[in-house]
Amino acid sequence: MNQNSPDVIVTSLRNGLVAAADNYLNLLIQVQAPDAPEAATRTHRPALNLALVIDRSGSMSGRPLHEAKRCAGFIIDHLTPSDRLALVIYDDQIELLVPSTPVVDKRLFHSALAGVESHGSTNLHAGWLKGAEEVAAHLALAGISRVLLLSDGCANQGVTSTDAIASQCRQLAEAGVSTSTYGLGNSFNEELMVAMARSGRGNSYYGDTAEDLMDPFREEFALLTSLWARDLRLFVRLPFSGGRVRVLNRFPNHPRGGCRMPDLAYGGEAWAVAQIKVPAAVTAVSSGTLAVASFEIEYSDNQGERREVMVPALYLLVLNAKDYHALTENELVARRLGELQAADLQERARDAARQGDWAGVREILTRVRKLAETNRWLANVVAELEHLAAQEDRERFSKETYYQALSMRERLAGKNEAPDSAPASAPAAPYLRRKARIGKEGL
């Protein structure tokens, strides 16, 4: 692989389709970034233009605020003079602690943080917008401009509507300012925080307790400093009429066509499972092989240049039903498909938990466990969920399933990822880890 374009691999669950019948094909599309060149990891990365927006409302008092400040300190310590940082704190008032400034004198940021104390309610929108204002003033095509928003509560002052705030995050992301969110504890609104990050083309994380907050900050920082391609778009084109494409990862549609895949970092793989309906009329007139789909990937490189990769059509054998069922399933495609099904089931378990139906939750988790028979990571996830379900803690279960389902659909995979997530096969980059418990450090 060269350093300028990704490898794109398309694999079908089965290497064929049934003649004269409606077929629903599951295709895995893997978009793989090159490995990080040694020199690049140390000296060359896009400049970061960040705003750290920290909730200091009354509920953050004590350990949460202390940990939030420690995480902010981690970000400060890892930035370089070519990066910019603004510090914003908010409760019902917004305070710009440090305007967007090159990170030359780190003491300036540390001392500004040291005096922060907690009080007031949560004007989350205004805090976020203040951070966006600071970042927007210093946009650069080649750099990464992002607001990192941390909150342990619900937006209860100013603009509070999830749809309205997410729409603003989307518009600003299109204009070059992305948003990542960090929820803390059990009282924050996970639907708002995830919607902001998804619309804002950033990442969403949460920490179960203050002690679990550093892990996601480390993960995002590693991702930000290793990004290889941004604003990835996948187009699937069918060479026949009457067909249909459904991307099972439920990626958001891009405003200018196609669906938007996660940003891609060195050594990582963005992937999608596309389900394609091939109507009987098409397979009835075909013999031998049939072109089922072609693909196009668009992305922005680290210099902000728009690039595209055309992937030739995938051909599959047209077979009779007996020969088709004799085909073996591709193990990797089956595993990713299983993870997407597990994500759907987790959402249903979350709905059941929110209605207090814990028997229903346990029944759904039994189905997830069946999917996990050949997937050790999934088995570890379901064990954690069963443990949480046993506690019947609605908020905690709700948050874990919400974030875990999202992670299963949108995570970056390691290239040549092993079927299990045992420590021996764990990838080095924090953003490629498969966590058994999203909200917990080290799990």
Partner 1 sequence: MVTRSDESKAVLGRHRNFSGTAEEFAELAAVIFRDLGIPFDKDNRDPRQAINERLVRYYVQEGVLSPPEHLGREAHFKYQHLIEFLVARSLINERWTLAMVKQFIEAHNLAELEAALSMNQAQRLVRQFAATSAMPMSEPGYGASSPPPAVAPRVPASEATASGTTRRREIVRFELMPWCHVDVDVNELLRQGSPTIAQRLGAALAQQLRDEISKRGGRK
In whole angstroms, the minimum distance from the beta carbon of 99 to partner 1 comes to 3
* Region 73-102 residues binding partner 1, contact defined as CB under 8 A: 86, 92-96, 99-100
Cα–Cα distances (Å) from 305 to 21, 81, 229, 280, 308, in that order, read 44, 24, 10, 42, 10
Member of 104, 139, 285, 326 binding partner 1 (CB under 8 A): 139
Q: Which one-letter DSSP state was computed for residue 60?
A: G
In sequence order, the β-bridge partners of residue 11 are: 28
In whole angstroms, the minimum distance from the beta carbon of 119 to partner 1 comes to 14
- Assess 126 for contact with partner 1 (CB under 8 A): yes
**Total residues binding partner 1 (CB under 8 A):** 29
In whole angstroms, the minimum distance from the beta carbon of 383 to partner 1 comes to 43
Member of 55, 91, 134, 269 binding partner 1 (CB under 8 A): 134
- Assess 360 for contact with partner 1 (CB under 8 A): no
Our CB check for partner 1 shows the closer of 137 and 422 to be 137
Q: Give the integer Cα–Cα distance in Å for 189 and 154.
A: 5
- Assess 202 for contact with partner 1 (CB under 8 A): no
- Assess 176 for contact with partner 1 (CB under 8 A): yes
CB distance 404 to 365 below 8 Å = no
CB distance 371 to 416 below 8 Å = no
- Assess 129 for contact with partner 1 (CB under 8 A): yes
For residue 403, with 0-12 CB atoms within 10 Å meaning exposed, 13-18 middle and 19 or more buried, which class applies? buried
* Region 140-159 residues binding partner 1, contact defined as CB under 8 A: 145, 158-159
Our CB check for partner 1 shows the closer of 125 and 437 to be 125
H or E element that contains 149: strand 144-151
H or E element that contains 269: strand 268-278
CB distance 284 to 29 below 8 Å = no
Our CB check for partner 1 shows the closer of 51 and 278 to be 51
Member of 136, 229, 332, 364 binding partner 1 (CB under 8 A): 136
- Which tokens hold the place of 325? 């069922």
- Which tokens hold the place of 173? 């992301």
Amino acid at 329: E
Q: Give the integer Cα–Cα distance in Å for 223 and 227.
A: 6
Cα–Cα distances (Å) from 46 to 42, 43, 80, 180, 410, in that order, read 12, 10, 11, 17, 23
Q: Give the integer Cα–Cα distance in Å for 58 and 157.
A: 14
In whole angstroms, the minimum distance from the beta carbon of 413 to partner 1 comes to 31
Please name which of 193, 197, 148, 190 lies closest in space to residue 169, comparing C-alpha atoms: 197
Our CB check for partner 1 shows the closer of 144 and 172 to be 172
Which range in 34-42, 127-135, 332-340, 396-404 contacts partner 1 by CB under 8 A? 127-135
Which range in 34-42, 65-73, 126-134, 393-401 contacts partner 1 by CB under 8 A? 126-134
- Assess 120 for contact with partner 1 (CB under 8 A): no
- Assess 175 for contact with partner 1 (CB under 8 A): yes
CB distance 215 to 206 below 8 Å = no
- Assess 56 for contact with partner 1 (CB under 8 A): no
Residues engaged in binding partner 1 (CB under 8 A):
86, 92-96, 99-100, 123, 125-126, 129-130, 132-137, 139, 145, 158-159, 168, 171-172, 175-177
